[in-house]
């Protein structure tokens, strides 16, 4: 499976897990010219911006190992763009999901 297709499969797996945990998915792959957010979700009154990182195998580190300081800055920037664009004044959180396994069977979500 190509990398892009596998990434989409990983995002769908994360979305399914989030739904099981009571989240409502608001958007997938929200994009603007300078930024992108993999998943935007809501649980209760909090908006969550979720970055999904997929690794087929963890022998060179899990998905969290690829969250560099530059990537964290990009995630924060994208969240701020969304917040300003939608004039959102509520609480929000940044999350990351590390997905691994050939069938995306292992998913771990952490708050950044």
> What sections of the chain are H helices per DSSP?
3-20, 69-85
Q: What confidence category does residue 16 fall into, taking pLDDT thresholds of 50, 70 and 90?
A: very high
The CATH number of 3-111, from 3.40.1350.10, 3.10.20.30, 3.60.60.10, 3.40.190.170, is 3.40.1350.10
CA-to-CA distance for 76 and 90, rounded, in angstroms?
16
Q: Which two tokens stand for residue 8?
A: 């989409």
pLDDT value at position 66? 75
Angle at the Cα of 93 (from 97 to 36), degrees rounded to 5?
65
**Count of alpha carbons within 13 Å of 18, Cβ hemisphere only?**
30
Task: Let me know: does 10 contact 52? Beta carbons within 8 Å.
Answer: yes
Q: What are the sequence ranges of the domains in the chain? A: 3-111
pTM: 0.90
| pLDDT at residue 79, rounded to an integer | 97
């Amino acid at each position: 499976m190509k990398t892009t297709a596998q990434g989409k499969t990983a995002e769908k797996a994360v979305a399914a897990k989030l739904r099981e945990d009571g989240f409502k998915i608001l958007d997938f792959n929200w994009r603007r010219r300078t930024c992108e957010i993999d998943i935007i979700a809501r649980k209760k009154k909090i908006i969550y911006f979720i970055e999904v990182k997929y690794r087929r195998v963890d022998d060179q580190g899990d998905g969290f190992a690829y969250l560099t300081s530059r990537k964290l800055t990009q995630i924060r920037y994208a969240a701020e763009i969304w917040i300003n664009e939608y004039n959102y004044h509520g609480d929000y959180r940044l999350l990351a999901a590390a997905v691994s396994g050939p069938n995306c069977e292992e998913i771990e979500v952490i708050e950044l």
